[in-house]
Amino acid sequence: MKIWLTVLYLSSSTACFSQDFVGEIIYKTRVIPKKESINADSILDGASGDSAVYYISGSNYKCTFFRKGLKIYQYTYHHSDFRFYTEVPGADYITFTDSRKSHDVIKDFKIYRDSTAIIAGYKCYLAEKGYNDYTTKAYYSDSIKINPETFKGHDASDWYNELRKTGGSFNIKAITHYKDYISITEALSISFRPINDSIFDIPENKPVVASAYGLDKKVFMKKNASFSKCFAIKSKDVRDVSGRTQTLTCLVLFVVTAEGEIKNIRAHKKDPYDAYQVAIDIIKTCGLKFVPGEIDGKRVDSEYSVAVHFQI
């Protein structure tokens, strides 16, 4: 499963910090399509939802994402080991990525102190950030700061670099222009309050495996000669949809172990035709083989996903 790691950015330079912000921020997200063919609800369903709750204390933070009131996933960040730990409802494992590896580098950063707004009760100034594939207009408040050196080495989303540029201020609002739509994330409330360290605990009853996103060498899937025949036979078990023909895609996620075995298989979503059950059975029984992914030259357990397409 591809998880969009939306780091709800903090920011800074190396000034003196009397007290780091500790507390909770509640964010709301909406999407504005640039084309009539783009469906805003589909984007919110598939990405980071329409709201989020963010906690930070010391060198740890956590963000839980919701869509229409239901939790869709959460990640917890521990700077002590430079790891994001992502948990998804229904998954009996946790994935991790390394924050020292960056896929988004800020190409251009301009601050406009004279462009201000009041957001969540705080006076904010505007900054524009340019990335390879998108641009963001973000608002920061001088009233809410952390020490950027607390997160030195946090290169994911180029966050440490951003923290140094903006003086330790929180991103209160972000307007991001993608190719087909605009995403607007804004803080609704900001609460200064103590956060219990236990909120950043990682469950001990679930295995922790590498995210596909964080692998140096990706998992490779091999199909044997009998796969197509097996797929064709099992696809007949998908119920027909009366009166029309359509393509139904089922995303199946699972762990590929360092030995190349598969386990912890699940469907990303259920469907009214029970095609997801057939898709899981195909992954289990049609003879697929996998070459494990690698980190630092070593094979590791990691998450992998396969999209199974049915004509119904």
Same domain, residue pair 282 and 234: yes
Same domain, residue pair 55 and 157: yes
Range in 99-108, 111-120, 255-264 with the lowest mean pLDDT: 99-108
Residue 128, token pair as written in the block:
């524009």
**Residue 18: per-residue pLDDT:** 45
pLDDT over 70 at 5, yes or no: no
| Residues 192 and 25 sit within 8 Å (Cβ to Cβ) | no
| Residues 146 and 56 sit within 8 Å (Cβ to Cβ) | yes
Average of pLDDT values for 221-242?
85
Rounded distance, CA 281 to CA 269, Å?
15
The band of 3, judged by pLDDT with boundaries at 50, 70 and 90, is: very low
CATH of the domain at 136: 2.50.20.10
**At what angle are helices 227-235 and 275-285 packed, to 10 degrees?**
160
What are the helix (H) ranges across the chain? 40-46, 159-165, 227-235, 275-285
In this structure, is the dihedral angle defined by the CA atoms of residues 76, 77, 80 and 83, taken in order, positive or negative? positive
Average of pLDDT values for 183-200?
98
Pairwise pLDDT comparison (12 vs 168), residue with the higher score: 168
pTM for the full model? 0.89
In this structure, is the dihedral angle defined by the CA atoms of residues 110, 99, 188 and 33, taken in order, positive or negative? positive
Same domain, residue pair 153 and 62: yes
| Dihedral Cα 228, 229, 232, 236, nearest 10 deg | -150
Same domain, residue pair 238 and 263: yes
CA–CA distance from 188 to each of 9, 54, 57, 113 (Å)?
A: 15, 12, 19, 22
Asked if the structure places residue 278 within a domain, the reply is: yes
Q: What is the pLDDT of residues 19-50, one digit of tens each?
A: 799 999 999 999 999 999 999 999 999 878 99
Asked if the structure places residue 1 within a domain, the reply is: no
The band of 312, judged by pLDDT with boundaries at 50, 70 and 90, is: confident
pLDDT over 90 at 261, yes or no: yes
Average of pLDDT values for 7-11?
40
Segments forming the whole domain that contains residue 118: 23-200
Average of pLDDT values for 240-269?
88
Residue-averaged pLDDT of the chain: 91
Domain count, the chain: 2
Pairwise pLDDT comparison (70 vs 5), residue with the higher score: 70
Q: Which of 173, 200, 227 is the last residue of a domain?
A: 200
CATH of the domain at 240: 3.30.2420
